[in-house]
Amino acid sequence: MAAAPTVRRRRLGEELRRLREDLGPTAEEIATRIGWSPSKLSRIENARIGVRVSDVRLLLELYEVEEGHMGEILALAQAATQRGWWDGYRHTLSERFAAYVALEDEASEAYLYSTYIVPALLQTREYALGVFETGRAIVLSTPREVEHALEVRMRRQELLSRQKPLDYSAIIDESVLLRLVGDRKIMRRQLEAMLKMAELPNVELFVQPMNVPREPIIGESFTLLTFTPAYDVRFPDVAYIDSFQLQLDVQDDKITDRYRRAWEALKRSSLSGEESLRLISRVLREVWQEDAD
């Protein structure tokens, strides 16, 4: 599997395409002028391949980009040459999931809805292992692959506590709190960890109760990622849909807007943050308490 492009590389490709389109020439015309194959420029604009900073400068000079913006784009081009930490797991991660990890790593906000399990960024190592072990019944994984998957999951969780942390808002179905993964001790520790994580100023947890009307009724888990502009270049929102047979990220504005409105509707039918934490505490105490073993 080739290394998944970082958001920086994708930002760079989209900005180079925008600049070219504003100027007017086609990719074929530009490529001919500078002695490239048309496919090379197309792959750069679509972040299929990396690009040297000197080549970016060549394009920007051809596009007659003003000096200030040129400096921003060249800084972005330099940053885009850096590999992400997930590249070390490229032989273990699927191409689609590696691309998602790259997006998640540079997102500023994440809005998640989980219907079946505790969200990945909130999972304890024991709970995550329990999830992976159940999946081995249908996805043949070696112990080494499972260990790598655990390492990736734990590394991703650093997003919530790094210097500029990800703002994370998760809605979980109440059934997630009641569904046994591993054993009762693992469930106790998992719910305790969720309560602890909710103390972070950048983490919000909402529980959608099972005994109240809800609208809309959505069966799939999804995550909406948003990005702040970087190097004076905007990056579109991304909706990531993760199901048994599908892993898909979508950048179409109409589709991501639907997922944003769906998330907001789901939040309205959920408990407040304080009520959600009280419910998690009650389930921890009444369902997974010590004397229930």
- Whether 182 is in a domain gets the answer yes
Residue 2 in any domain: the answer is no
Please check the confidence at residue 287 and state whether its pLDDT lies above 90: yes
**Shared domain check, 106 and 73:** no
Average pLDDT over residues 72-76: 90
The number of distinct structural domains making up the chain is 2
pLDDT in tens, 115-132: 999 999 999 999 999 998
Can you give the CATH number for the domain in which 73 is found? 1.10.260.40
Domain match, 117 and 205 both: yes
Is the pLDDT at 39 greater than 80, yes or no? yes
What is the per-residue pLDDT for 137? 62
Quote the CA–CA distance of 232 and 245 in Å, as a whole number.
37
Q: Are 125 and 190 in contact (CB under 8 A)?
A: no
Q: What local confidence, expressed as pLDDT, does residue 140 receive?
A: 61
Domain boundary among 79, 99, 118: 79
Q: Domain end: 56, 79, 102, which one?
A: 79
Same domain, 72 and 94: no
Task: Over range 198-215, report the average pLDDT.
Answer: 91
Same domain, residue pair 42 and 96: no
Q: pTM score, two decimals?
A: 0.85
Same domain, 202 and 225: yes
Task: Mark whether 142 and 109 lie in a shared domain.
Answer: yes
* Structural domain containing residue 52: 7-79
Do 218 and 113 form a contact (C-beta atoms < 8 A)?
A: yes
From 79, 104, 133, the end of a domain falls on: 79
pLDDT bracket for residue 3 (50, 70, 90): low
* 28 found inside a domain: yes
My answer on whether 109 and 136 are in the same domain is: yes
Starting at the edge strand that comes first in sequence, how are the strands of the sheet with 238-242 ordered?
A: 203-208, 167-173, 109-114, 221-226, 238-242, 247-250
Q: What is the mean pLDDT of the chain?
A: 89
**Are residues 179 and 247 located together in one domain of the fold?**
yes
The string of pLDDT tens digits covering residues 248-271 is 678 788 999 999 999 999 999 999
pLDDT for res 112: 96
Domain membership flag for residue 1: no
Predicted pLDDT of residue 127? 97
2: pLDDT strictly greater than 60: no
So what's the pLDDT on residue 138? 67
| One domain, residues 74 and 111 | no
Window from 59-63, 112-116, 135-139, 266-270 with minimum mean pLDDT: 135-139
Based on the domain organization, do 61 and 92 belong to the same domain? no
Residue 107 confidence (pLDDT): 94
- Residue 166 in any domain: the answer is yes
What pLDDT band is residue 1 in, cutting at 50, 70 and 90?
very low
Confidence of residue 136 (pLDDT cuts 50, 70, 90): low
Judge whether 185 lies within some domain: yes
Question: In degrees, to the nearest 5, what angle opens at C-alpha 248 toward C-alphas 253 and 16?
Answer: 55
- Is 224 inside any structural domain? yes
CATH of the domain at 216: 3.30.870
Q: Does pLDDT of 247 surpass 70? A: no
- Domain membership flag for residue 68: yes
Tell which residue, 120, 114, 125, has the closest CA to residue 206: 114
